[in-house]
Structure 1
């Protein structure tokens, strides 16, 4: 029952660690397969250009926005501007929709790249332009910050994934001892730190990027958003990882795995009293089948010489 109880004690943190790993795997899989509907919904950032306005009534900044407008208009006329762009951890995908904005069809996904960041100049094929020429200071600053942070964000997700794998492997050894749980708790703490850091970074930077796109590109009816599905998966990974760390810590303090139903044996201590066989009865008094019974006490009136209760000492 001891090992069985130990296994039951670590089942919960092991299940939570596996759930956290699955969530991280889903984050990594976003936008990798254009034919998978689940992966298409897992993106950090989406630029919706379906309602691109080729004839805006008013441009807020003539110096920059007229240049940007001309570049976007040229991309739209040449069909280089798609209806939507979705950004994942490794790459981006683009595609078209019907007139109602439904039934999206992904037409292209870029090759996977570590520390990927979405560059609208390159993606929208704004040829012979630079960000300094077509984007104002606010847009340029948002893109620069986004580019700088993506390296740390990508590294944090990768480290969190592999440390979680190590946590699960170490959790197997935790079945046999509380020391195993202690080491697994350390790995779980490291995993939680990087998952939380990656979640905070990705949520913050893409929320800021979406806000910048919306404010700067609003005259062109280009809208930006984040995926609720991706945010849900990311923060579920944080919750599962944090909960698993608590349960691993609990298994370190409790559930030793030792059985409580052990047979207790009593050893004879030295100098204890034991009955010694009478020397007058010989070998027959050693507990054999022919052991003679002790003589009864004499009754009243019997001769005193018929019973000798004590050994006589000869001087």
Structure 2
């Protein structure tokens, strides 16, 4: 297969790599621009506090919800006090969307939502509700106890790993596109690109799994406790579709890069020199059962030239018992019936 064939073989994984990069970029751009309606729909978790109230359920139901969330050092009275502080805070928005680099806040009017502002993008971002809601230095914040602080510490560490994984996946995918140019020339280029592609796929998969699992746990556990006070916790759909599409495209690209390593050679089969032929011409082997002239390689005429008697020659005459037709009566360039191998 020549250069044109190899370029066609490289085209498929190259397009898949670019598609994976676009999906990763979309994940990173979520919750970074308040004026973009498309980017506003890219969020991991939404915290709706528009209907927050001190208590709408019984004490037993709230205690069970806290226990399910793994919070045992906080009493219902302490949590109710914290909710009242949030409820009385006039500067809070109706809802908050959590992204990779920051968060956005907005207002709810009927069934419509409107993003009012977004935080400044920050590396290794994690959403801190205690600081955002003004509970960090209050009695309500202190009353939340050690369990809530441990949960926030774990959430902070996992968020840091998630950010690093997405960043490495982005860098590796960009490097994959650059190195993939050399894959057009040789299989060695495909081999290097394949190794970079494997790194990109593993970190894209790790980041997607981390974000999905972490925010699913947050919705399932903390969301249950928050629901008792009218707080709604929901997960976004668009950003998870983007991140898992990035995984699918990255996996498919890796498979095709591996395929281009062992197949689709860029060398032409007609450009190789034949062994024993300095000019590189192709020597055709004689096929069996074909006609060919009787030449020097076919005895008895080729093994010893025949000379008429009476001539002084170094070659003896043919044997007397030889029954072959004399060479003088043969036609020039006579053909033997078949050549056998």
Q: State the TM-score, normalized to the length of structure 1.
A: 0.79
Task: Measure how far apart 1:114 and its partner are.
Answer: 1.2
**For structure 1, which segment, 237-246 or 104-113, has the greater mean C-alpha deviation from structure 2 after superposition?**
104-113
| 3-state secondary structure, aligned to 2:112 | coil
State the match for 2:34 in structure 1.
Answer: 34
Conserved? CA contact 1:34–1:40, under 8 Å: yes
CA distance in 1, matches of 2:74, 2:281: 94
CA distance in 2, matches of 1:137, 1:77: 25
| 3-state secondary structure, aligned to 1:146 | helix
Task: Measure how far apart 1:267 and its partner are.
Answer: 7.2
Task: Measure how far apart 1:222 and its partner are.
Answer: 0.4
State the match for 1:232 in structure 2.
Answer: 241
Task: Measure how far apart 1:97 and its partner are.
Answer: 1.0
State the match for 2:70 in structure 1.
Answer: none
State the match for 2:100 in structure 1.
Answer: 89
Equivalent positions of 1:266-277 (< 5 A) are 266=282
Equivalent positions of 1:79-228 (< 5 A) are 79-98=90-109, 100=110, 102-126=111-135, 128-129=137-138, 133-135=142-144, 139-228=148-237
CA distance in 1, matches of 2:209, 2:57: 38
Conserved? CA contact 1:139–1:216, under 8 Å: no
- State yes or no: 1:244 paired with 2:253: yes
Indicate the RMSD between aligned Cα atoms, in angstroms.
Answer: 2.9
Task: Measure how far apart 1:88 and its partner are.
Answer: 0.5
CA distance in 2, matches of 1:20, 1:314: 87
Give the length in aligned residue pairs: 277
State the match for 1:294 in structure 2.
Answer: none
| 3-state secondary structure, aligned to 2:105 | strand
Task: Measure how far apart 1:72 and its partner are.
Answer: 3.2
CA distance in 2, matches of 1:261, 1:119: 67
- State yes or no: 1:66 paired with 2:87: no
Conserved? CA contact 1:42–1:229, under 8 Å: yes
Conserved? CA contact 1:153–1:201, under 8 Å: yes
CA distance in 2, matches of 1:46, 1:189: 33
Task: Measure how far apart 1:25 and its partner are.
Answer: 0.4
Structure 1, gaps ≥5 residues long: 269-273, 276-307
**For structure 1, which segment, 108-117 or 249-258, has the greater mean C-alpha deviation from structure 2 after superposition?**
108-117
Q: State the TM-score, normalized to the length of structure 2.
A: 0.73
Q: 1:143 to 1:220 in 2, by over 3 A?
A: same
Task: Measure how far apart 1:231 and its partner are.
Answer: 0.9
| 3-state secondary structure, aligned to 2:206 | helix
